[in-house]
Amino acid sequence: MLPSLLGAQVRARALGLAPGVFTPGTHNAITDVAGVRVGHATVSEGDSLRTGVTAILPHGGDLYRDRVPAALHVGNGFGKLLGVTQLRELGELETPILLTCTLCIWPAGDALAQWMLAKPENGNVRSINPVVGETNDGGLNTTRSRVGIGSAVRDALARADSGAVAEGSVGAGHGTIMFGWKGGMGTSSRVLPASLGGYTVGVLVQGNYGGVLQMAGVPIGQLLGRYAFQRDVAPVTSPRRAPGDAGAERGDGSCMIVIATDAPLLARNLERLGARAIMGLARTGSSASNGSGDYVLAFSTNPRVRRNPDATVSTNDELGNEAMSALFQAVTEATEEALYNALLMATPVSNRTATVKPLPVDSVRLFLRARGIQPQKLR
């Protein structure tokens, strides 16, 4: 097999893909927002179970009593998202966020509720609202088999840590597919200059969608001969369907996007921030097809806007609307780069019928260099 078809794990900046004008944080990850932790647990059993769980913890304290403001933005609602009616009603999170497979949200939510209720400080808590997002990894995973999901939830929560975040075919991204190639988990961050508040925005994505892949405006999907609607617009030259490529033919699939920031925002402006993440998704070539569930969950870790459920009066020091534009730019950039990382860091995953291979990185590198896009300082 030619080296250009083998693929190799690299982050986007190794290829010169550094969207935007703002600088990433230390790890170029959602964990650059102080206190945020991420944990993965991959479930791979037999010849057909290829899924996992990813946990995002907003801070290391009592999540139920020291709640963070949160919001949901729906780009296209073809999916299942557990716990969002209460999140939208109250504008806050009281549990970690979990990401998993489409039919795994209920056992995952139950395991998360048990994990929260088992904490000694929650002995008198009568109800809990777990928030669990999903994408359909049925191209590689037997989605009806939810073996090991509860255990994976506990493992992901136990492994949650700050610092560098594993990307690619791990955790909730183990069975996902993007644009007909192997997809996965990706992350990125941006730090605003001091003149704009010095705030950090971090993004974590679970990529499992299709469309017409482009990177920095370069039509990579078309150059590689794999893109949505190809059989309709170029039926003579269209290649034989690649394994796992069925969902990519019309751009179907889903994407979960989680945003963390230390900017003091409440639910209204967090929802506005989430809307801009969809712009980053679009820049990669997604048009949010009918069968695509594209959801954004955003939260603020800033202590000035946290909530205590027992408080009768809430006073918050929220950032004004005029200060939002730089954050909008930052989240658009970080989302685009996180999605590139999800693709570029993926490794091959096989089930009993096929192997889904990652994007051919060497070929992508040549296409980018031909347009003057050179490697950046790695982060």
Positions annotated as catalytic residues are 254, 292, 294
Kindly report the number of other CB atoms within 10 A of residue 2's CB atom.
8
In the beta sheet, which residues pair with residue 68? 93
How far does Cα 23 stand from its chain's mean position?
20
The whole-angstrom separation of Cα 337 and Cα 274 is: 16
User: How far lies 321's CA from each of 68, 126, 318, in Å?
Assistant: 19, 37, 9
In the beta sheet, which residues pair with residue 296? 73, 257
Which amino acid, residue 305?
A: V
184 and 170 in contact (C-beta within 8 Å)?
A: yes
Considering only CA atoms, give the Rg of the chain: 20
